[in-house]
Structure 1
Amino acid sequence: MTTTVERTVRTTASPDAAFAYLVDFRSAPDWDYGTISCERTSGDGGPGTTYANVSKFAGNTVELEYTTEKVEQPEFVIVGRNETTTSRDTITVRPEGEGSVVTYRADFDFSGAVRFLGPVMTPLLNRLGDNTARTLKESLDRL
Structure 2
Amino acid sequence: MVTVVRRFTVSRPADAVLGYLADFGNTPEWDPGTVRCARLDDGPVRPGSRWLNTSRFRGRTTELTYRLDRLEPGRLVFVGENRTVTATDDIALFALDGRTEVVYEARLRFKGAARLVAPFMRAEFERLADGVEQRLPEVLGAR
Q: Normalising by structure 1, report the TM-score.
A: 0.95
Work out the number of aligned pairs and report it: 142
**Tell me, what secondary structure is at the counterpart of 1:46?**
coil
**Hey, which bits of structure 1, 4+ residues long, moved more than 3 A?**
none
Please tell me the residue identity of whatever aligns with 1:109: R
Distance 2:142 2:97 in 1: 17
Distance 2:122 2:114 in 1: 12
Give the CA deviation at 1:98. Answer: 2.6
| Residue aligning to 1:9 | 8
| Residue aligning to 1:47 | 47
Distance 1:8 1:42 in 2: 31
Alignment of 1:1-143 (within 5 A): 2-43=1-42, 44-143=44-143
Give the CA deviation at 1:119. Answer: 2.2
Distance 1:17 1:142 in 2: 13
Preserved CA contact (<8 Å) 2:29 2:139: yes
**Tell me, what secondary structure is at the counterpart of 2:40?**
strand
Give the CA deviation at 1:34. Answer: 0.5
Deviations 1:105-128 (A, max 9, x none): 111000121110022111111111
Structure 2 unaligned regions, length at least 5? none
Preserved CA contact (<8 Å) 2:14 2:98: no
Q: Normalising by structure 2, report the TM-score.
A: 0.95
Distance 2:138 2:112 in 1: 36
Please tell me the residue identity of whatever aligns with 2:71: V
**Tell me, what secondary structure is at the counterpart of 2:20?**
helix
Give the CA deviation at 1:42. Answer: 1.3
Identity, in percent, stands at 35
Preserved CA contact (<8 Å) 2:2 2:119: no
**Tell me, what secondary structure is at the counterpart of 1:42?**
coil
Give the CA deviation at 1:62. Answer: 1.1
Distance 1:58 1:31 in 2: 18
Give the CA deviation at 1:95. Answer: 0.7
Distance 2:133 2:54 in 1: 19
